[in-house]
Amino acid sequence: MTSPTILFCVGATKAGTSWLYRYLHDHPDCAMPAVKEAHYWDTFDADALAKQTTMFRVRLRELRDMKAEASEEAKGWKVKNLDRRINEMKALLAVLEGDRVEDAAYRGWLMDRGGWPKLVADMTPNYATLPDETLARMIALSPDAKVMFLIRDPLDRLWSHIRMQARRQRQDHEVYEKKANNILYRMLNRNQERHILKRGDYPSIIRKLRRVVPEDRLRVQFAEDLFTNDGVAAACAFLGIAPVAAEVKTPVHEGPEVVMLDRLRPRALGLLDKHYDWVARNIGPLPQRWHDNRAKG
């Protein structure tokens, strides 16, 4: 049997990567890791590695606590599931902190999944920020490696990312809605929180991907189209797996709705005008949602 195809889904942040992970996780042709975002290729720097492994160890403690609770409740199926997640997290930590020569340990962690899957995947949106040489090393891991980059309406993506940041940073005394709009205000008026814009810089990211990834191994996918039966079928054709039915309209990790202040919206769109124009010229016709958001500006 041939080795499975490797999919590297490199973002964009808040553009449907979690939905795609869930879809592939349940797909009979795929064997997905229990850890969606491995963060192997963006942790060669010592500081980045220390930060990421600390986060993984916190998550490992949480999983162990969940397992203990499930054991007390005699939920055997849940204990078994948590055992798998715990073991995969421990193995990943060993890979991240171990010998990275020729990336052999990572390749084994990702690809040795048992059975004969057609596809495995590492879906880490932060990989979109990798330099050319690291991306080249990543896709050289396998001659069948493929890269997907999901793009969502720029304003929707930006605002969803801001809301995620607000949820993570909010202190007990802070109001979530105000926190989110304050982050956008600082971005517009103080040039702060610019990493949020970087994660959705479609022109820069796609130009880089096209420089490094062979054309037949790269797919740029509108997220709005992915959430349709035709979009799922097209993505599956690229990945070499059969399409299966999906709840295509079910968002993942979307979070509670928060209204962007009217006075901030036109300026936020102004930051993104070049992204709308570039994608229309270089990727293809924009989904209706993209046109609608610009018209409201």
Task: Classify residue 77: in a domain, yes or no.
Answer: no
CA torsion sign for 210, 213, 218, 220 is negative
Residue 171 pLDDT class (50, 70, 90 cuts): confident
Is the pLDDT at 251 greater than 80? The verdict is no
Q: What is the pLDDT of residue 281?
A: 97
Cis peptide before 235 (omega within 30 of 0): no
Report if residue 234 sits inside a domain. Answer: yes
User: Is 171 domain-assigned?
Assistant: yes
Question: 30 lies in a domain?
Answer: yes
What tens digit of pLDDT does each residue of 177-187 get? Answer: 899 999 999 99
Exposure b/e, 204-237, CB count within 10 A at least 16 = b: ebbebbeebbeeebbbbbbbbbbbeeebbebbbe
Q: How confident is the model at residue 68, as a pLDDT?
A: 97
Asked whether 123 and 21 are in contact (CB, 8 A), the reply is yes
Mean pLDDT within 196-213: 96
**pLDDT at site 122:** 98
Mean predicted confidence (pLDDT) in 122-150: 97
pTM attached to this predicted model: 0.92
**63 in any annotated domain:** no
> Which domain CATH number covers 265?
3.40.50.300
Q: What share of the chain in percent tops pLDDT 90?
A: 85
- Residue 50 belongs to some domain of the structure: no
Domain assignment of residue 286, yes or no: yes
The answer as to whether 224 is a domain residue is yes
Domain count, the chain: 1
Residue 240 belongs to domain spanning: 5-44+100-296
Give residue-wise pLDDT tens across range 79-94. 999 999 999 999 999 9
Per-residue confidence (pLDDT) for residue 59, from 0 to 100: 97
Which of 271, 109, 256 lies closest to 203 in space, CA to CA? 271
